């Protein structure tokens, strides 16, 4: 393709090199957006299907750049034969590099460029061979900015007599590009091998620009893909941290529940030993179920079944004075909620709302679906709390503060436990669980 008249030959070459880098960066960015391709990048041990998928994902657009863009449309900037083949070998091994080299080397054969195929395959094997020798993390640390410290690295290599793999990774594409320039200039009259060159023979700055573009064509995709790998690792660490925090909060609530229940049983041992024995039996069954389950998230149906077991214990303790009313919306039963999220709310209603009340008391558990959320409310008609008591409720007690912290940890700062109360009339504890962003079941 001939350049515009306003550009000289070398100016047009520089423009072509810049577009070439943009094409390589755009291709690397598009590929990393696909989950399968990103998965292949993350794990170093790759099966043959993964390597083949990587080679095809990279090779097909590169072959199109050579066959369609350069040969048919005469658009030189889309030819990334050397960079693509070498990069495939460097990341996925010599055979993946050879596959990509074959894919990009076949179209030029129709144009009489018979040296293109062996050169491209050789670049793929060169990248693969370097991968076998080089530490894998050194490949991912290869940066487009390695030029800035090249003199220091070279001096360090000579002083310590140790290989600096960043320098080796820099020299490899440079040597391949020099080889292509030499072969291309030798057969320039017969067009046996395509290469970008200056219209002014012997121009050192233009040759340096070509070599720089080749290195950046390899280093830029590595930089883009490594950022995706780092992001994945950070996400995995965040998941592990979240699971550990949820585990710690769950371990905190279980001893709290056990202590309070045992305190209730101990108050009945002398006055009502048979009742205390029954409560111990029910408690042991409940603890057995909790020990068998390692899920930190359960359906609301399972959580309500757990509350029934707890209420069986409290009803035996309080007798017919304790009434329980449930108003459960059927569509909410299969919503995923954090386990042990309701028990502290019910326990707080009994302990602080009803225990000191003269006469009977009622607890109402109510759920509803609203605006993409499941609303869960626990009402009691107990003593209620003043504004000052409400202000300290979430900070002083273990149970309520635990529920509030778990909601914020799992769903974000906008989700928390809401308490409303009227002295002498009762208290309502309210939580909202998002239905559209359901947490994964995290196990201990």
CATH number at residue 327: 3.30.565.10
Is 257 inside a domain boundary?
no
| 306 and 174 both lie in a single domain | no
| 282 and 167 both lie in a single domain | no
pTM for the full predicted model: 0.58
| 289 and 414 both lie in a single domain | yes
| 327 and 182 both lie in a single domain | no
Tell me the pLDDT of the chain averaged across its residues: 82
Is 245 inside a domain boundary?
no
Closest CA to 89 of 59, 49, 47: 59
pLDDT value for 441: 45
pLDDT value for 203: 74
- Per-residue buried b or exposed e for 20-52, using 16+ beta carbons within 10 Å of the residue's own CB: bbebbbebbeebbeeeebbebbeeeebeeebbb
| 325 and 228 both lie in a single domain | no
Alpha helices in 190-266 (DSSP H): 204-266
Measure the CA–CA gap between 208 and 238, rounded to whole angstroms: 44
| 204 and 60 both lie in a single domain | yes
Tell me phi and psi for residue 364, to 5 degrees.
-120, 120
- Maximum Cα–Cα distance for the chain, whole Å? 109
Q: How many domains does the chain have?
A: 2
Is 241 inside a domain boundary?
no
Domain finish residue from 235, 256, 288: 235
Domain finish residue from 235, 259, 279: 235
pLDDT value for 439: 43
Domain finish residue from 235, 257, 276: 235
- CB count within 10 Å of CB 147 equals 13
| 287 and 398 both lie in a single domain | yes
Is 248 inside a domain boundary?
no
pLDDT value for 358: 64
Domain that residue 30 falls in: 9-235
| 181 and 87 both lie in a single domain | yes
Rounded (10°) angle between helices 48-64 and 81-92: 170
Is 407 inside a domain boundary?
yes
pLDDT value for 243: 62
Ranges of the chain with pLDDT below 70? 1-8, 144, 147, 149, 187-190, 198-202, 237-257, 260, 289-295, 317-319, 356, 358, 395-397, 436-444
| 292 and 224 both lie in a single domain | no
| 92 and 20 both lie in a single domain | yes
pLDDT value for 364: 92
Is 409 inside a domain boundary?
yes
Is 443 inside a domain boundary?
no
- CB count within 10 Å of CB 149 equals 13
| 279 and 193 both lie in a single domain | no
pLDDT value for 58: 92
| 155 and 271 both lie in a single domain | no
Measure the CA–CA gap between 84 and 107, rounded to whole angstroms: 15
Is 404 inside a domain boundary?
yes
Residue 326 CB partners (closer than 8 Å, separation 6+): 304, 364, 365, 366
């Amino acid at each position: 393709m001939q350049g515009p008249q306003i550009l000289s030959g070398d100016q047009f070459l520089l423009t072509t090199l810049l577009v070439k880098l943009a094409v390589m960066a755009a291709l690397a960015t598009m590929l990393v957006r696909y989950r399968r391709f990103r998965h292949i990048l993350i794990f170093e041990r790759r099966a043959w299907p993964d390597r083949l998928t990587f080679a095809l994902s990279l090779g097909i657009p590169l072959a199109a750049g050579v066959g369609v863009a350069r040969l048919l449309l005469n658009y030189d900037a889309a030819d990334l034969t050397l960079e693509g083949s070498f990069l495939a070998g460097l990341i996925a091994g010599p055979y993946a590099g050879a596959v990509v080299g074959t894919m990009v080397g076949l179209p030029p054969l129709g144009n009489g460029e018979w040296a293109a195929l062996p050169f491209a395959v050789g670049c793929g094997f060169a990248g693969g061979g370097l991968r076998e020798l080089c530490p894998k993390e050194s490949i991912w640390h290869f940066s487009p900015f390695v030029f800035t410290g090249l003199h220091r690295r070279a001096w360090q290599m000579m002083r310590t007599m140790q290989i600096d793999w960043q320098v080796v990774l820099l020299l490899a594409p440079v040597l391949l590009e020099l080889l292509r320039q030499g072969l291309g200039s030798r057969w320039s009259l017969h067009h046996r091998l395509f290469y970008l060159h200056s219209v002014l023979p012997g121009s050192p700055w233009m040759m340096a620009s070509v070599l720089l573009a080749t290195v950046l064509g390899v280093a830029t995709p590595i930089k883009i893909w490594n950022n995706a790998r780092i992001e994945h690792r950070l996400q995995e660490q965040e998941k592990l941290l979240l699971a550990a925090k949820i585990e710690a909060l769950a371990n905190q609530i279980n001893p709290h529940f056990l202590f309070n229940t045992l305190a209730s049983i101990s108050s009945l041992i002398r006055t009502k030993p048979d009742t205390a024995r029954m409560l111990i039996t029910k408690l042991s069954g409940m603890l057995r179920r909790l020990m068998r389950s390692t899920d930190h998230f359960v359906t609301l149906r399972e959580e309500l079944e757990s509350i029934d077991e707890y209420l069986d214990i409290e009803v035996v303790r309080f007798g017919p004075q304790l009434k329980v009313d449930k108003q459960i919306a059927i569509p909410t039963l299969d919503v995923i909620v954090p386990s042990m999220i309701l028990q502290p709310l019910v326990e707080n209603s009994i302990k602080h709302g009803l225990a000191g009340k003269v006469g009977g008391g009622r607890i109402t558990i109510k759920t509803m679906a609203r605006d993409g959320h499941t609303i869960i409310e626990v009402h009691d008609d107990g003593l209620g709390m003043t504004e000052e008591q409400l202000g300290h409720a979430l900070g002083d007690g273990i149970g309520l503060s635990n529920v509030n912290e778990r909601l914020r940890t799992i769903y974000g700062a906008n989700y928390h436990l809401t308490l409303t109360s009227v002295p002498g009339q009762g208290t309502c504890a309210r939580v909202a669980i998002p239905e559209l962003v359901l947490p994964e079941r995290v196990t201990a």
